[in-house]
Amino acid sequence: MQYEIIGGNLPAVICKMKKGEKIICESGGMSWMDAAFKMETTSGGAGKMFGRLFSGESLFTNSYTAEKDGEIAFASCFPGNILAVELTPGKSVIAQKKAFLACEAGVEMSVFFQKKFGKGIFGGEGFILEKFSGSGIVFLEIDGAVKEYNLAAGEKKIMDTGHLVLMDDTCKMDIEKISGVKNVLFGGEGLFNTVVTGPGKIFIQTMPISRTAGVISSYIPSHSD
């Protein structure tokens, strides 16, 4: 498979597939394609359906198999970027919920649970995340622009909740309460920060959709009866 990411901050990825190659996306995730693909909808079994339900993804996935050479495209649903992550055996990554766009057939998708429930409740990154492993390329949606850091062992990066989009599974994520009553009440940063400790790569997004929705909603007038 070859691919091209187009569209600037309104991105789509165009995948050029050879006969016999397969790509997988969420139900309804395909944007356009040549008349060269056979589609099959599957749940992947009860266990995977259960996991996708809790991770916020569609209950079903669609696989597209190229019956001859052709192109198929997947567009992001929010202004930002599409990140292509190449996985090899033994390398896994952890992503935010609803980041998945599409992947090659050799990529294994599963649910990643935070060890402590409180981290998900208060951290804003979610109690349930997505884990990708196996072999192949997975395409992920990024809200806004993306910044990559390669953390050394023990090195920490602190960020406002919602900005962490992806990390190697060698990293550790934790939640840190902001200290000081004045800081909490007047700092405007909320009660908690997300802390990621290396070693491993992390990817931070600049415009979390949840935060953007909150800003937009403040400008929508409320009407009372």
Domains (range + CATH), the chain: 2-207 (3.60.160.10)
Q: Cα separation of 28 and 170, whole Å?
A: 32
d(CA 214, CA 162): 12
Band of residue 117 on the pLDDT scale cut at 50, 70, 90: very low
> Is residue 63 over pLDDT 70?
yes
Task: Label residue 129 by pLDDT band (50, 70, 90).
Answer: confident
Residue 116, pLDDT > 80, answer no
Give yes or no for residue 204 having a pLDDT over 90: yes
The mean pLDDT of 32-48, rounded to a whole number, is: 78
Q: What is the pLDDT of residue 122?
A: 47
pLDDT > 90: percent of the chain? 55
The rounded percent of the chain whose pLDDT value lies above 70 is 77
At residue 28, the pLDDT reads 84
The mean pLDDT of 8-23, rounded to a whole number, is 96
pLDDT tens per residue across span 150-178: 999 999 999 887 899 999 999 998 877 66
Mind listing the pLDDT tens digit for each residue in 133-156?
Answer: 999 999 999 999 999 999 999 999
Rounded to two decimals, the pTM is: 0.82
Mean pLDDT of 183-207: 75
pLDDT the model gives residue 113: 72
**Sheet strand arrangement including 2-6:** 2-6, 12-17, 70-75, 32-33
Mean model confidence pLDDT for the chain: 82
Residues 6+ apart with CB under 8 A from 54: 111, 128
Rounded alpha-carbon distances, angstroms, from residue 111 to 8, 173, 186:
30, 16, 36
At 129, phi and psi to the nearest 5?
-115, -175
> What is the per-residue pLDDT for 44?
52
Q: What is the pLDDT of residue 185?
A: 40
Whether residue 173 contacts residue 205, with contact meaning beta carbons closer than 8 Å, is answered with no
3-state secondary structure of 181: helix
